[in-house]
Amino acid sequence: FPMEATDPQVLALAAQITESREQDIPLLLLKLKGILSSPSLGCQESNKIKQDIYDYGLTQYCLLVLKQDHSQLHGAWATAAQLAEILSHCCVGLEVKEDPEEFNKKFLPSAVDTLLVLGKRLQARFIRAIKDKEKQDFLHWFQIVTDAICWLFRGHIQLAACVLQNDRFQQLLITDDVETAIIMMSVLHNILRINSSVLLQVEEETLHSVLDELVYKLSSTTNPAVGSAATKLLLLVAKFCKQLVQLLTARYKGLKGLLSKQWTGKGFDRELNQLLDLLYLEQSDGKGEMQKQHQAACIIQAAWRGFQTRKRLKKLPQAVITLQRSFRAKREQELQHLTKQKEDEALKLQMQLQRQRTMRLFHERQLALLEVVHASRVNKYMEEMEENSALTIQRFWRGYRARRIFHQQKQSLKEYKAAVIIQRAACKFLEKRRRRRPLSPWKQPKGLTDEQRLALQQKVDDYIKLHPASQMSEETSKELHMQAQAKLAQFLWRSRLDQRAAQRREALLAQVNTDVELLMNAPGLAETTEKDLGAFMSRSIPVATKARQTHNTMLKYARWPWWKKLGDEFMEDDVIPDDAINTELETLFIGGRK
C-alpha cells in the first residue's frame, strides 16, 4: 500500500470491498462515480484520487467485474455501463509511476478490449429487443459504453490504433442497424480527429475493411443520417492524405456516380461537394474514360432493369393466381374450422341437454313409481333397479374388455390365418407332386436263408433256457382266488361299518350343535310358553328353522349389489360362496333322529 496520505473515502471503500461478498462488489464500485465527480476537487486532487484508486486495486476490480457475466450483476447492464464509464474516468489523467509499461501495454489494451466486448453484447441485445422501452435502455447503455471508449483514447492517444485494429470494433461497425451504426461512425470520427495519422499506422487489411464498410453503407441505405456520417468520414479521410484519395478512386471506381446520384439534396451537400471535388481532382486526367465507363454502366444497368422488369411482368399473373389460390384455400380452411367448431359446440350442447332431459325423465319416472308402488315393495324395486344397472355396467365392461382383447389378438389371428393358408397351399402342392410321381413296382421282401433261420432258432432256445416260465397247479390257483375273495369281503364289510359310524358321529355332532344353539337362544323360564316347549320336544322344528335361515341367506346373497359380486364373474349362477352360508350350515342338523 502507498505510504502517502490516502483519500479517506477511497480507503474506506477499499476496506468495505475487501470485507464484502463477491456479488456486492459491483454496487460498491459504483460509489467511485461520486468520489470522482466531487465538485470540490481540483485537477491535482482528482489525479491523486485516481492514483489512490489504482494503487488500491479498485480500477483492476472494475475491469474484472466487467469481464464477468453482466446478466448476473445487480442492475445487470445498467451497472455494467456505469462501471465502464467509471473505468474510463479512472484511467484518463492517471500517471502510473511504478511499472508504467504494464499499465500502458497490458492494462489499457485489456480495458479497451473489455469495453468493446461489452458494447458488442449491448448492440446484439438492442437488435434482438422487441419492446420500445428495452430498445431505448439498451441504446442508452450502448451510448454510455462508446462514450467511455472515446474518453479513454482521448486521454491515451496511443489507444486509437489499438481500437481501430480490434476485431470487435470492426464487428461493431459492420451492422445494418441504423442507430448503432451512426454511433460507431461517430466513434470512428473521433478517432480520426484525435489521431489523424492512425489510418497509416494500421494494417492494410484493416484500412480496406473500414473503407469497404463506409462505401457499403453509402450504397446499401437511403437513410440521410447514415449517408451524412459516412460522407463526413470519407471527407475526413480524403483531406488527411492524398494517398488515401488515390486509394478511394482506384478501389471504388463508381463512388463518384453513387454520391452524385443517390445523395445529392439530402441535407449535407456541402460535405458531399467537397468530397466529389477531391475525387474529381484526383482523377481529372481520366475524365473522358470515366465518362465512357459511366455511360456503358448506365446502358448495362438500363438493359438489366428492363430485362428484370419484363421478367417480373411475365410472372405477375401467375403470382397473382397463386396468391389468390392460397388466400382462398386459407379462407376456406378457416371457414371449415369455424364450422366444425360450431358443430362440435352444438353437438356438445345437444348432448348435454339430452343428458339433462334423460336424467329428468328418469327421476320423474322414479318419483311416479315410488308413488304407485307400495311402501313394502320399494326396497325390492330399488334392489331390482340396482341389479339391472349392475348387469348393464357389467355387460358393457365385458364387451369393452372383449373388444380390447380382440384388437390385441387381431394381429396374431391374422398371422395364424396366413399360416393356415400357407400350410394349406403347401399341402396341396405336395399332394399334387405326390400324385404326379410314378408308382414304383411292388417288391416282395427277401426271405430268410437257412443259415439265418437256424441262428434265430438257436437264440430263441437259449433265451428260454435262461428265463424258464413259472408254473402253478390248478388247485394252488383256486386256493389263492378264494383267499383274495375273503380278504376283499372283509375289507368291504369293515368299510361299510366305518362309514355308518362316521355318519352317526356327524349326526350326533349336528344334533349337539342344534341343541346348544336352541338352548343359547331360548328365553328365560319366566318367559317360556308352550310353543317354546314344542321346539325342544320335536326335532323337525329346528331343522325347518335352519332350512329357512339358509334359504334367507341365499336370497340375501342373490340381492347383493353388483360391486360386491365383481370377483364372482365367472361363477355359476346357482353356486353360492361358502363364506356366505358356512356359518348357517355348520349348525344345521341333517342326520335325523337318534
pLDDT in tens, 354-387: 999 988 988 888 788 777 777 777 788 788 888 9
* Nearest Cα to Cα of residue 563 among 406, 425, 387: 387
Output the pLDDT for position 340. Answer: 93
Q: What is the pLDDT of residues 168-212, one digit of tens each?
A: 888 888 887 888 888 888 888 888 887 777 777 778 888 788 888
Query: Cα separation of 584 and 565, whole Å?
Result: 20
What mean pLDDT is predicted for residues 286-297?
A: 71
pLDDT digits (tens, 9 = 90+) for 445-460: 667 788 888 999 999 9
State yes or no: pLDDT of 471 exceeds 80. Answer: no
Helix axes 255-262, 269-282, angle to 10 degrees: 150
Residue 150 CB contacts under 8 Å (≥ 6 apart), including other chains: 187, 190
Q: Is 184 exposed, middle or buried, given 0-12, 13-18 or 19+ CB atoms closer than 10 A?
A: buried
The answer to whether the CB of 577 falls within 8 A of the CB of 560 is: no
Per the model's pLDDT, the better-predicted residue between 5 and 487 turns out to be 487
Identify the residue with better confidence: 581 or 302. 302
Residue 517 C-alpha cell reads as 344353539
* Stretch among 141-145, 453-457, 590-594 having the lowest mean pLDDT: 590-594
**Distances in whole angstroms, Cα of residue 217 to Cα of each of 203, 228, 231, 460:** 22, 10, 10, 122
Q: Are 363 and 534 in contact (CB under 8 A)?
A: no
Report yes or no: 116 and 163 within 8 Å, Cβ to Cβ. Answer: yes
CA distance 214 to 456: 122
DSSP string, 15-26: HHHHHS-GGGHH
C-alpha cell at 236: 475526413
Query: Phi-psi category of 443—alpha, beta or left, where left has phi over 0 and alpha has psi -120 to 50?
Result: beta
Q: Specify the higher pLDDT residue, 332 or 121.
A: 332
Are 559 and 383 contacting, i.e. CB atoms less than 8 angstroms apart?
Answer: yes
Above 50 in pLDDT, residue 99?
yes
- The Cβ-side half-sphere exposure at 78, using a 13 Å CA radius, reads 6
| pLDDT band of 470, cuts 50, 70, 90 | low
Q: Which amino acid is at 36?
A: L
Contacts of 428 (CB under 8 A, 6+ apart): none
Distance in angstroms (rounded) separating the CA atoms of residues 221 and 228: 11
| Percent of the chain topping pLDDT 90 | 14
pLDDT at position 445 is 60
Under the banding of pLDDT at 50, 70 and 90, the label for residue 588 is very low
> Do 86 and 152 form a contact (C-beta atoms < 8 A)?
no
pLDDT (0 to 100) of residue 439: 56
> What local confidence, expressed as pLDDT, does residue 28 receive?
72
Res 345: pLDDT: 93
Dihedral sign, Cα of residue 578, residue 582, residue 585, residue 586: positive
452-461 long-range CB contacts below 8 Å, 24 or more apart? none
Mean pLDDT over each residue of the chain, to the nearest integer: 79
Q: How does residue 75 score in pLDDT terms, banded at 50, 70 and 90? A: low
560 band by pLDDT with thresholds 50, 70 and 90 = confident
The predicted model gives 223-251 an average pLDDT of 79
Query: Could you tell me how far CA 82 lies from the centroid of its own chain?
Result: 40
Give just the sign of the alpha carbon dihedral 301, 307, 310, 316: negative
d(Cα 187, Cα 142) in Å, to the nearest integer? 12
Residue 580: per-residue pLDDT: 47
Q: What is the mean pLDDT of residues 59-70?
A: 74
Torsion angle in degrees (nearest 10) through CA of 264, 270, 272, 275:
150
Q: Which residues contact 581 (CB under 8 A, 6 or more apart)?
A: 550, 553, 554, 557
pLDDT per position as a tens digit, 494-518: 999 999 999 889 888 877 887 787 7
Cβ atoms of 214 and 220 within 8 Å: the answer is: no
Q: Is the per-residue pLDDT at 589 higher than 60? A: no
pLDDT of the residue at 539: 64
Query: Is residue 574 predicted with pLDDT exceeding 70?
Result: no
Range in 178-187, 312-321, 434-443, 548-557 the model is least confident about: 434-443
Please state the rounded mean pLDDT for residues 108-124: 83
In the structure, what pLDDT confidence band is assigned to residue 336 with cuts at 50, 70 and 90?
very high
From the list 63, 34, 62, the residue with the least C-alpha distance to 49 is 34
**pLDDT of residue 16 exceeding 60:** yes
Q: Where are the domains of the chain?
A: 8-202, 373-428, 539-587
For the residues 266-276, what does the mean pLDDT come to? 79
Looking up cell 399341402, which residue turns up?
427
**pLDDT confidence tier of residue 438, bands split at 50, 70 and 90:** low
Q: How confident is the model at residue 592 (pLDDT cuts 50, 70, 90)?
A: very low
Candidates 268, 204, 205, 283; CA nearest to 234 is 268
- State the pLDDT at residue 566: 61
Q: What angle do CA 224, 228, 231 make, to 5 degrees?
A: 135
Count of other CB atoms within 10 angstroms of residue 254: 14
- Percent over 70 (pLDDT), the chain: 85
Please state, in angstroms and rounded to a whole number, the distance separating the CA atoms of residues 215 and 589. Answer: 120
Average pLDDT of the segment spanning 330-350 = 92
Over residues 63-72, mean pLDDT: 72
Residues in Cβ contact with 240 at an 8 Å cutoff, skipping those fewer than 6 apart = 192, 196, 197, 199
**Amino acid letter, 285:** D
Tell me the one-letter amino acid at 330.
K
User: CB-based contacts of 29: which residues, under 8 Å, 6+ apart?
Assistant: 17, 58, 61, 62, 65, 83, 86
Rg (CA), the chain: 57
How far apart are the two ends of the chain, measured CA to CA in Å?
123
Check pLDDT > 50 for residue 584.
no
Q: Characterize 528-541 residue by residue with b for buried, 16 or more Cβ atoms within 10 angstroms of its Cβ, and e for exposed.
A: eeeeeeeeeeeeee
pLDDT above 60 (res 39): no
DSSP letter string over 470-494? P---HHHHHHHHHHHHHHHHHHHHH
540 pLDDT higher than 80: no
